[in-house]
Amino acid sequence: MTTRALLLVCLVATAARADGLLSGRVTDQNGKPVVGALVTARHLALARETTVYADPEGYWAMPPLEEGTYHMRVRRPGFRDRMEAVELGTGRASRTLVLERETDPRELAWQLPANRWLGLAVAHLPDDAAREEFLRQCAFCHQQGSWATRVQRDPEQWRKLFALMARMGGILSTRVRTALPGALNAAYDESSYVPALGEHFTPPPPPDAAASSAVITEWEVGGVGSMQHDITVHPDGRVYSADTTQDKLYRLDPRTGERRTFDIPRGDSPLGGVFTTRQPIPANADAHVAPHSLQVAPDGSIWITLCLGNKIARFDPATERFDIFPQEDGLYPHTLRFDARGRAWYTLAVSNQVAMIDPKTGERRTYRLPARTWGETFAVRAVPWVLWAARWVDFDPERAGDQPQLPIPYGIDVAPDGGIWFSQLNERRIGRLDPETGAIRLVDTPFAAPRRLRFDARGNLWIPGFSSSVLARYDPRTGEFRTWDLPIEPHGTETPYALNVDRRTGAVWICGNQSDTLMRFAPAAERFTVYPLPTRVTYTREIEFGADGAVWTSNSNLPAWQIEGAAPKVIRLEPERRAPAGMRAEAGAEPRG
């Protein structure tokens, strides 16, 4: 256990269990309510932040919080952040927080989420194909348009940056690589963004009434060198997350705040794993095996894909020991899901395969997926050879952008009928693998970049279109697609990495990677609800649900130093956690029905 984790355990154990109640109102300087203001209370010792939204009258109420010192931050685009410290005891405390309007156009622009800036950049690209390629290839590690990426550079430095990113998989065609420096420099010039975003400032809309009772809790997990890729919620209530760049498995107990860190065995995997000759990892990474996706098996163990180590790991929460299973056939174990028989199915992203491991019998299978063209088939088959030869021969990944691309099987899920469905990110298609016969059926998608897909309880497949900024539903019985534009303005600037369906309610939850949001879609009403998240540069890749209906995700922007506060976080959104009775009245609100 790390020193930090021990400290946290001690702090939690010694903390008084009596909770304090904190509520209040947010107004502007004229006493008018600031609707949708995010009120955040940060408990320094627990490295945890709790956030609620101000309601239409400006009232807010925190859930019960531990006694202690809190740093409060109130935020709403269009106003200056307000910060103050609060000593919370076991009683009730009330605060009226007055926000000052921000009038500096440049500062106003800088308050806006990355997608607004991204909108300026894509407007300078020559056509839709270039925009799609830019989003698919340049927005899968980090936001585009965040404070760290909305940077003007000279052409030479852009060229170097593209070469560096190509090594990490962000491979652009010559056409887009040529157009991008001018587009990005034009978008991020003060003469462009100040009028567009500051002088014509339009704040993101406040959360609507359906979101107003939500509570968001963020726990710092990992550090500046972490890429906290995926999370999973264990039936015992603890949450596990995978640190891809530091080879760690974290466990958070949200009831106590305790964090534990487990080192994933590296065996003989070198830095960079099987891709060591390419070193496709950032300079601050210490990734030999790179845990990526993780899920809880029916027996309560945690199964993890180790993408660079080319292995699968099993972690036993009872013994806290790992078992490691090398992936002999295929490359890059990616996203993993269990079927009803307890078998783990996962995509092998680089070798264009789907694999299965049966924990009960040890049986393993791999299925090679079709590529669209002969060139792609050759590219897939050539990867192991390239990795081997790269020890002696220089292969320029930059030039690969003009060559046939790898199909990249990405998301995977199990249909209610047991069929295994997957997406091929670069192919604009999804497919079904029959787990009994191995037969594969492919379906073209009417949108680009299908990413992490999930089934609902009725057998509909929900798919995020990463570079097409859409939510899609596919009905395998009828073969029909239906798509909805995501409700993020300007349209086309959101890149949904993942989604999940809460099978109890049927609601679809979607990652808002560029807009610092989570989105909820109610299929029956065909209605979106947008939940702004409190931390700037929140980039999420997976959504899971707790037994209590809470929505869990993690902030995994890479690099983590671009995240506000420079700390990756595990995030819980409780959609319906209302304030305790009397809290809003305590703050001065009229009782509501």
Partner 1 sequence: MGHGEALTRLLVCLVLAACARQAPLPPPPPEPSRAGVTVTLRWSAPVDLDLYVTDPALESVYFANPRSASGGVLERDARCADGEVGPRTERARWTDPPPGRYRVGVDFLETCSGRTVEAPYSLTVEIDGRRQETRGRARRAEREPLVLEFTVAAPAAGEVR
Sheet holding 291-296, edge to edge: 291-296, 302-306, 311-316, 321-326
Query: Judged by CB under 8 A, which of 45, 86, 164, 443 binds partner 1?
Result: 164
Radius of gyration of the chain (CA): 24
Contact between 373 and partner 1 per CB under 8 A: no
Provide the minimum distance between the beta carbon of 152 and partner 1 in the complex, in angstroms, as a whole number: 13
Strands 420-424 and 38-43: unpaired
Contact between 387 and partner 1 per CB under 8 A: no
Query: Judged by CB under 8 A, which of 94, 279, 366, 377 binds partner 1?
Result: 279
Asked if 162 and 199 count as a contact pair (C-beta separation under 8 A), the reply is no
Q: Which residues on adjacent β-strands are paired with residue 228?
A: 243
Contact between 393 and partner 1 per CB under 8 A: yes
Query: Judged by CB under 8 A, which of 110, 322, 338, 395 binds partner 1?
Result: 395
Contact between 163 and partner 1 per CB under 8 A: yes
CA 570 vs CA 199, 222, 256, 380, 542: distances in Å: 35, 9, 14, 35, 11
Alpha-carbon gap, residue 240 to 80, rounded angstroms: 36
Span of 58-66, 67-75, 111-119, 283-291 interacting with partner 1 by CB under 8 A: 283-291
Contact between 224 and partner 1 per CB under 8 A: yes
Cβ nearer to partner 1, comparing 282 with 506: 282
Provide the minimum distance between the beta carbon of 333 and partner 1 in the complex, in angstroms, as a whole number: 23
Residue carrying the six token digits 């997350």: 241
Query: Judged by CB under 8 A, which of 174, 341, 566, 582 binds partner 1?
Result: 566
Q: Which two tokens stand for residue 399?
A: 């030039």
> Per CB under 8 A, which of residues 48..87 are in contact with partner 1?
none
Cβ nearer to partner 1, comparing 407 with 559: 559
Binding residues for partner 1, rule CB under 8 A, total: 32
Cβ nearer to partner 1, comparing 98 with 164: 164
* DSSP string covering 333-386: EEEEEE-TTS-EEEEETTTTEEEEE-TTT--EEEEEPPPSSHHHHHHHHHHHHH
> Per CB under 8 A, which of residues 86..145 are in contact with partner 1?
none
Contact between 328 and partner 1 per CB under 8 A: no
Cβ nearer to partner 1, comparing 38 with 307: 307
Span of 31-39, 232-240, 499-507, 559-567 interacting with partner 1 by CB under 8 A: 559-567
**Coil, strand, or helix at residue 177?**
helix
Provide the minimum distance between the beta carbon of 556 and partner 1 in the complex, in angstroms, as a whole number: 15
**Using CB under 8 A as the criterion, what x/- string covers residues 238-277 for binding partner 1?**
---------------------------------xx----x
Query: Which is it for the CA torsion 79, 192, 119, 559, positive or negative?
Result: negative
How many Cα atoms occupy the beta-carbon half-sphere of 265 within 13 Å?
Answer: 14
CA 12 vs CA 5, 362, 379, 574: distances in Å: 10, 41, 53, 22
Contact between 526 and partner 1 per CB under 8 A: no
Alpha-carbon gap, residue 145 to 115, rounded angstroms: 6
Contact between 356 and partner 1 per CB under 8 A: no
Please list, in sequence order, all residues whose beta carbon lies within 8 angstroms of the beta carbon of residue 303, skipping any fewer than 6 positions away: 294, 295, 296, 297, 312, 313, 314, 315, 336, 338, 344, 359
> Per CB under 8 A, which of residues 403..462 are in contact with partner 1?
none
Residues in the chain: 593
Binding site for partner 1 (CB under 8 A): 148, 154, 156-157, 160-161, 163-164, 167, 223-225, 271-272, 277, 279, 281-285, 378, 382, 389, 392-396, 559, 561, 566
